[in-house]
Amino acid sequence: MKTRHTATVVDGSLKLDDPLDLPEQSRVEITVAPIAKDVDRKLEALRKFRDLSDATPLFGEAERLTRDQLHERR
């Protein structure tokens, strides 16, 4: 199983942004590459979008949005 994760360097160690779905004491191979500021900004935008989409379900038993809500102009 191959997955991709992001982390932050804290006192010389990597602190993962999300927990790994691996058993304790698993051995893994890692490749470390710095994230460019632009990529970091895109990842933050994606996190915000996911949070918003989780908080505002469009399907299922959620309240249906009106035409005005769907085409809100700011």
- Could you list the pLDDT tens digit for every one of the 74 residues in the chain? 788 888 999 999 999 999 998 999 999 998 888 877 787 788 888 888 888 887 776 666 667 777 887 786 65
Domain count of the fold of the chain? 1
| SS3 letters across 10-37 | ECCEEEECCCCCCCCCCCCCCCCCCCCH
Q: Is residue 37 in some structural domain?
A: yes
42 within some domain: yes
Residue 53 DSSP class: H
Stated length of the chain: 74
Count the alpha carbons within 13 Å of 8 in the hemisphere toward its beta carbon: 5
Tokens 């590459």, located at residue: 33
The reported pTM is: 0.44
Judge whether 1 lies within some domain: no
Q: Which residue segment(s) compose the domain that 62 sits in?
A: 7-70
**Coil, strand, or helix at residue 7?**
strand
Q: Which residues pair with 13 in a beta bridge?
A: 10
Residue 2 domain-assigned? no
